[in-house]
Amino acid sequence: MTEEVKKRCAELVEKSKGIVHKAFEKFKPLEMAITWTGGKDSTTNLWITRQVCLEDNIELPKVITIDEGDAFPEITDFLIRTSKKWNIDLRWLANFDVLKCCQSHLGNTVKVKDLNERNQAELKRIGFEEDSFTFEAESYAGNHLMKTVVLNQFIEKNNIKALFMALRRDEQAARKHDEYFTKKEGGYLMPEHTRISPILHFTERDIWNNIKLHNIPYCLLYEIGYRSLGARTNSNPMAVGVPAWEQNLEHTPERAGRRQDKEKTMDRLRKLGYM
Amino acid sequence: MKNVVLLTVDTLRRDVLGGYGNKGGLTPFIDSLQNKCIRFTKAQSIGPYTQASFPGILTSSYYLEYGRGKKLSPKRTLVSEALKKSGIVTAAFHSNPYLSGYFGWNRGWDIFYDSMDADVSPEIPYIKGDGINSKVDECLFSYTREGKYKPFFLWVHYMDVHEPYVPERKYIDMVDSSISISQDEMFNLFKNVLLKRDVSDEETVGLLKKLYDAHIREIDDYVKEFFGILEKLNLLKNSVIIMTADHGDEFNEHGSLSHDGKMYSELIDIPLFVYGYDRVKAEVCNTLVSNIDIPPTINYLFGLEPAEDFEGHSLLPFEDYPKKGCFGEAIDKIGNKEEETDKPVYFYREDDLKIIYRESDDIWEMYNLKEDPKELNNIINASSLAENMKKKLKPRIRRWVKE
């Protein structure tokens, strides 16, 4: 690794630490949480935040991970190992009501009337009016109940005011103008909170350079060709057998290995008021 | 040879633009372009919603020409395919699921971005115009960086005017600062009023129209930003820009909301103009033209013959455009769901006369748009011209069924 790359990494991390410091000036650690999927970005994000806490003797905010019911065993394993290594009390969140209704089995049908009141209200809120849905991570109803609702309920129950998230500007076009601190307006079933993105300025290449430079742990799936990790049934390696950091990061889309066919398109149509 | 840019806005009514007579000042930037534009005052869409209209805009063929398949028939030639064959570089940037790779619209593009991999919220279920612009900026920047480049065809489509109508506060304020409404309330209007096509309360319909107008004001900013990108990259003076919409939107002009299978002006009338940097004055073309004419126009601008199966005619030079009627077709659905059993609806327009046929109830309608621009007075039984108009539309009805 060249000195130049090392210097850039140091600058990027310094900048991120500055954001984290600023966050701790605005919020108490008890009112904050760090989201961690086990992917390269959120692991980097957690590593940086944890560094700041160790250096300044600040209590590490709660660290949470959301189980959508379709996780790679490799990621689960990575989360367990790394949280032990870093001495983190990782909280595993899930929508257990939905998991119960589908017997935790992908592809099973969930009847809306079998769900609890809150989940039914959530479906109503997003305009889902059918009697049932198939349990899949990226389906319209599934995605909302398994991810958004779980996060919102956690925020509500724990009086969370701010969340550390691992968004990167270069991830997708829509993020280009994102800010480090974004306030999410509250509303019906939606608790108000602030989202903090300390690694917003990292590129995919920067992430790997920094991981290598500091020996930050990463999930083994990246070694066999995955570039971006989502739900198990939706993610595929981009180049089989080629480690992520050796792929053409600058000229191929990071999320190309994620399934983006029918379900994603249908989800969009539904949100636009069709179907 | 100049580059050609096709800039389309989903669900953009013609009457919201200053260039078409709107006095509300919703589109200051677009209006400022008019003195370098040819403006088509009577452009018609071939259909009232995206799937019925875009076959015209990008393949110069009618919606039901190849049956009712949801995916784009491989028999159609996309303008991108026709151009690519001739060595033109092609790129597309949009966020409309009906025009995504999944439905087959990704053919013939060197770069095709449909945003379907991005996460979106229920309130804003598409990539906003500024997100599309940054994607375009990035791509054009790297494509033209070397200085020398092959001419390109760029298609950019914005979704921001499309429901659920949850505009940002600053745009609501620009339209009417007395409106006090939260994001939740707007989203509830979408679910409880718009999706149900409930027009019972006039005031609520008026409020929805204002939220729609706020999005129009927003679009104007994105168009401005887009022109800024072209200018910054020194591309504006080397490009011809065609700007249009796929269809309009209804606010109870004919008893409903949104854009279903109806053939009235609020959905079928579209803005259409061609911007040229070197133009010295505004020009106006009052001939009846259709968005099915766009692909042959794009080919013409690149000095190419139209593809064999294109059904439209080049709009340029507009002196040579043949005088003809405009035709359109769609599925006669009310509400947001198209059922297999829903039947087609057709229209044909010539001069100021429009005839509509709805297969489901075997109903004919005819309007004189000059005397009755709101299309409220059906003259099918009163007009002596009705038979002649029927005769012109009839060959187009169920023409794909071999009897």
How many residues in chain B?
A: 403
Report whether pLDDT(B401) > 60. no
In whole angstroms, what is the distance from residue B185 CA to residue B208 CA?
Answer: 11
Average pLDDT over residues B44-59: 97
If asked whether residues B118 and B7 sit together in one domain, one would say yes
Q: Domain residues for B10?
A: 3-322
**In the beta sheet, which residues pair with residue A15?**
none
Q: Are B315 and B301 in contact (CB under 8 A)?
A: no
Q: Which two tokens stand for residue A242?
A: 């080629």
Same-domain check for residues B39 and B84: yes
* B362 in the same domain as B252: no
Whether residue B380 is contained in a domain is answered as yes
Report pLDDT for B341: 76
B315, B245: one domain: yes
Q: Which of A73, A231, A253 is nearest to A239 (CA)?
A: A253
Q: CB B280: neighbour CB atoms within 10 A?
A: 8
Q: Do B336 and A274 lie within an 8 Å CB cutoff?
A: yes
Q: Is residue B313 part of a domain?
A: yes
Tell me how close the Cα of A260 comes to any Cα of chain B, in angstroms.
6
CATH number at residue B177: 3.40.720.10
Same domain, yes or no: B216 and B175: yes
Residues B112 and B29 in one domain: yes
Residue type, B130: D
pLDDT digits (tens, 9 = 90+) for B242-263: 999 999 999 999 999 999 999 9
Token couple for B64: 């039901």
In a domain, B123, yes or no: yes
Residue B335 in any domain: the answer is no
Kindly report, residue by residue over B73-125, the tens digit of the pLDDT: 888 999 999 999 999 999 999 999 999 988 889 999 999 999 988 888 889 99
**The last residue of a domain, from among B288, B322, B356:** B322
Digitized pLDDT (tens) for each residue of chain A, 275 residues in all: 899 999 999 999 999 999 999 999 999 999 999 999 999 999 999 999 999 999 999 999 999 999 988 889 999 999 999 999 999 999 999 999 999 998 888 888 999 999 999 999 998 887 777 889 888 766 778 888 998 899 999 999 999 999 999 999 887 666 777 899 999 888 888 899 999 999 999 999 999 999 999 999 999 999 998 998 888 877 788 888 889 999 988 877 777 666 656 777 878 888 888 76
Q: What is the DSSP letter of B269?
A: B
Residues B255 and B396 grouped into a single domain = no
State yes or no: pLDDT of B403 exceeds 50.
Answer: no
A133 compared with B155, residue with greater pLDDT: B155
Q: What is the rounded average pLDDT for all residues in chain B?
A: 94
pLDDT value at residue B148: 84
Long-range contacts at B140-147 (CB < 8 A, ≥ 24 apart): B140/B229, B140/B230, B140/B233, B140/B235, B141/B233, B143/B89, B143/B91, B144/B233, B144/B234, B144/B235
Helices and strands (H and E) in chain A: how many:
9, 8
Helix (H) / strand (E) containing B7: strand B3-9
CATH number at residue B351: 3.30.1120
CA dihedral for A8, A9, A11, A16, sign (positive or negative) = positive
Question: Is any Cβ of chain A less than 8 angstroms from the Cβ of B128?
Answer: yes
Q: What is the mean pLDDT of residues B161-167?
A: 96
Instruction: Judge contact between B315 and B321, C-beta under 8 A.
Output: yes
Q: What pLDDT sits at residue B402?
A: 43
d(CA B181, CA A270): 24
Whether residues A260 and B183 touch (CB distance < 8 A) is answered with: no
The total of structural domains in chain B comes to 2
Q: Residue B321 gets which letter from DSSP?
A: P
Q: Give residue B305's pLDDT.
A: 95
pLDDT in tens, B124-144: 999 999 999 999 999 999 999
Quote the distance between the C-alpha of residue B355 and its chain's center.
Answer: 21
Contact between A173 and B134 using a beta-carbon 8 Å cutoff: yes
Instruction: Supply the pLDDT for residue B229.
Output: 98
What is the rounded CA–CA span in Å between residue B194 and residue B390? Answer: 34
Question: Residues B245, B350: one domain?
Answer: no
Of residues B117, B127, B162, nearest to A255 (C-beta): B117
Q: Is residue B27 part of a domain?
A: yes
- Residue A195, strand partner residues: A163, A182
Residue in A253, A262, A272 nearest the CB of B102: A262
pLDDT single digits (tens) B273-288: 999 999 999 999 999 9
Of B343 and B334, the one with more pLDDT? B343
Is residue B331 a part of any domain in this protein?
A: no
- Locate the DSSP E strands across B218-325: 239-245, 250-251, 257-258, 272-276, 283-290
Q: Please report the beta strands in B353-398, taking only residues with DSSP state E, as ranges in sequence order.
A: 353-358, 363-368
**Residue B202 pLDDT greater than 90, yes or no:** yes
Apex A160 CA angle, A202 and A62, nearest 5: 65
Interface test with B, best of A228, A268, A269, A270 (most B CBs within 10 A): A268
At B66, is the pLDDT very low, low, confident or very high (cuts 50, 70, 90)? Answer: confident
pTM of the model: 0.77
Regarding whether B386 and B282 lie in a shared domain, the answer is no
> Do residues B107 and B51 both lie within one domain?
yes
Q: φ and ψ at A67, to 5 degrees? A: -95, 110
Same domain, B294 and B354: no
Check whether residue B184 and residue B248 sit in a common domain: yes
Distance in angstroms (rounded) separating the CA atoms of residues B372 and B250: 17
Give the side-chain half-sphere CA count within 13 A for B174. 20
For residue B64, being part of any structural domain is answered with yes
Q: Show which of B292, B322, B352 is a domain's final residue.
A: B322
| Cβ pair A258:B117 closer than 8 A | yes
Chain A neighbors of B102, CB-CB under 8 A? 261-262, 264-265
CB contact under 8 A, A272 and B258: no
- Where does a domain end: B268, B290, B322? B322
What's at B302, amino acid-wise?
F
Q: Is residue B338 part of a domain?
A: no
